[in-house]
Structure 1
Amino acid sequence: MRSALLTFDDVTHLAGALPSAEVSTSYGTPALKVRGKLFARLWEDGTTLVLRAPDLVRDHLLQTDPVTFFVTDHYRGYPYVLVRLP
């Protein structure tokens, strides 16, 4: 069981340490980009993070913690993993 919840504000704060990271929007939701390229955004449900991840990393996350990390049919074949923030 988790002892702490993570919010998109927390993710934004952490991303602030990355060079050239900027807060933006994508599909009408808050997003994080580097030089205009999306690497994370808040999903429309407001509690799920869409996170860019190489296939190998995504597959590892899905296998090691399927409660937190998942994909939908929409994201299959794309370099993204969905993260349940709560």
Structure 2
Amino acid sequence: MTLDWDRVVAHALALPDTERGTSYGAPAVKVAGNGRVFLSPGRADGAFCLHIDRDTVEMLKETDPDTYWQTEHYAGWPAVLIRYATADPERVLAMIGQARDWNAARPKVRSRGKI
């Protein structure tokens, strides 16, 4: 199986309580009900961004650095870049589900209001 943006979005939207949205003006997939983004295009060619807890980010980078990585922009944040050209697309799809679950358990995004 080959991964691309359309495939990972379709997988994410097939998970419970998910919806299309945007994040910083880019397409994203969010948890319906709390507004938390768990999948976005990312800031690197050939990759997308998964929003997931920092412990999991570190574990993924250590166990498969060819697939999971961070640029300086993401360092220290609960987000990891994932290369579409992975040797283990099934694990990537499973991690999308885990990211959805982690974000579903987080509190609802608070409105920033107007300045």
Coarse TM-score class (shorter-chain normalised): 0.7 to 0.9
| 1:73 aligned partner | 72
Counterpart Cα distance in 1 of 2:58 and 2:42: 20
Q: Stretches of 4+ moved more than 4 A in 1?
A: none
TM-score normalized with structure 1 length: 0.83
| 1:41 aligned partner | 40
The number of residue pairs the alignment matches comes to 83
Identity of aligned residues (%): 39
Greater radius of gyration (CA)? 2
Post-superposition offset of 1:44: 4.5
| 1:10 aligned partner | 7
Q: 1:47 to 1:27 in 2, by over 3 A?
A: farther
Structure (1 or 2) with the greater strand fraction: 1
Counterpart Cα distance in 2 of 1:59 and 1:43: 17
TM-score normalized with structure 2 length: 0.64
Structure (1 or 2) with the greater helix fraction: 2
Partner of 1:60, secondary structure, is: helix
